[in-house]
Homo-oligomer: A and B are copies of this chain.
């Protein structure tokens, strides 16, 4: 009897052990299989996964050959934080003292005078025209190599006012997962941004895993010339070649990629045409818009859904209405994202 009891115990023990092992294996498998662990289960996550499954399935009429798998992502407000102000504008404002040092006559000229005063309230009242003057003075006129070095250096020390972290840490973890997931499934992922192409290309590879040649942005002309040593260089000219916003995003995609995307992600009216053009293609297409509705973990702004209307980044009611009409999927940061930043615990 005692022997039989021991045997029974051993059998039970083995059975439990097997169950535990199987459960652990299943959990591990599930974790491996979930390409979007920072997303809550819901229609947004489901839309991404089912789109990828569809276009990867050779037996599905929506199958897309690898070379045609192009996905485009707006940057500000879609891949990283755009509040309280676009990161590139922060860079430009920080560059003003150096510009004035090189051209002292600007110190008494607006809008440079206001920026030098450091008065945030006055700076927030600067007009679009003022900002354009600052952008032109801080983004053009120098060598391409010098500009790239300056941007790189700035990112090393600049800190976001709210989280006190490098701006490059303010990327959305769920979107980084989407970039990786699409990349793993044969997509070439592109940033298509209203921001400056030369600016974003400095950090795109390190931050997003997106090489410079897959960054389409607002782009100025450059001019080829020679230094005193006879070495050739490129200078950034104050002439806009591509204003990569609204219809300009589609024109930029045609210029730089030459193919219609199968997936497009944005967050504001400047992305509308990109999503519309993507959706006008045949077969399965994925169009998504990030809605900033999480004041606690990030920011909340609309004015869609009665969210506050802000100057920087908007999600208009008209855009939301169009999204509903056309089947574009709205991502609620509050409900769809389990975690927003990699640095969160």
Chain A residues in the interface with B (C-beta under 8 A): 67, 70, 144, 188, 197-198, 201, 205, 211-213, 215, 219, 221-224, 231-232, 234, 241-242, 247, 250-251, 254-259, 273, 276-277, 280
- Known A215-B258, A221-B251, A232-B276; further 5 A-B contacts with Cβ < 8 A: A70-B213, A213-B256, A213-B258, A223-B251, A241-B255
B224-A257 in contact (CB<8A): no
| Whole-angstrom CA separation of A259 from B251 in the bound complex | 22
B residues within 8 A CB of A188? 213
B residues within 8 A CB of A215? 258
| Whole-angstrom CA separation of A264 from B242 in the bound complex | 26
CB-based nearest B residue for A201: B258
A212-B251 in contact (CB<8A): no
Distance in angstroms from A174 CB to nearest chain B CB is 25
Contact status of A280 and B231, CB under 8 A, knowing A67-B211, A212-B258, A257-B213:
yes
CB-based nearest B residue for A198: B258
Contact status of A256 and B254, CB under 8 A, knowing A205-B67, A213-B188, A232-B280:
no
27 contacts between A and B (CB under 8 A): A67-B205, A70-B213, A144-B254, A188-B213, A197-B255, A197-B258, A201-B258, A212-B257, A212-B258, A212-B259, A213-B257, A215-B258, A221-B251, A222-B251, A222-B254, A222-B255, A224-B247, A224-B250, A224-B273, A231-B280, A232-B273, A232-B280, A234-B250, A234-B251, A234-B254, A241-B242, A241-B255
Q: 6 shortest A-B CB distances, which residue pairs?
A: A224-B247, A212-B258, A213-B257, A201-B258, A224-B250, A222-B251
Distance in angstroms from A312 CB to nearest chain B CB is 25
B251-A213 in contact (CB<8A): no
Distance in angstroms from A187 CB to nearest chain B CB is 13
B residues within 8 A CB of A276? 232
B residues within 8 A CB of A211? 67
B219-A255 in contact (CB<8A): yes
| Whole-angstrom CA separation of A255 from B257 in the bound complex | 12
B residues within 8 A CB of A242? 241
| Whole-angstrom CA separation of A231 from B232 in the bound complex | 46
B residues within 8 A CB of A231? 280
| Whole-angstrom CA separation of A258 from B217 in the bound complex | 12
B residues within 8 A CB of A255? 197, 219, 222, 241
| Whole-angstrom CA separation of A44 from B275 in the bound complex | 48
CB-based nearest B residue for A233: B280
CB-based nearest B residue for A220: B255
| Whole-angstrom CA separation of A190 from B254 in the bound complex | 17
Distance in angstroms from A253 CB to nearest chain B CB is 9
B residues within 8 A CB of A224? 247, 250-251, 273, 277
CB-based nearest B residue for A276: B232
B residues within 8 A CB of A256? 213, 256
| Whole-angstrom CA separation of A188 from B256 in the bound complex | 15
CB-based nearest B residue for A242: B241
| Whole-angstrom CA separation of A290 from B195 in the bound complex | 40
Distance in angstroms from A208 CB to nearest chain B CB is 13
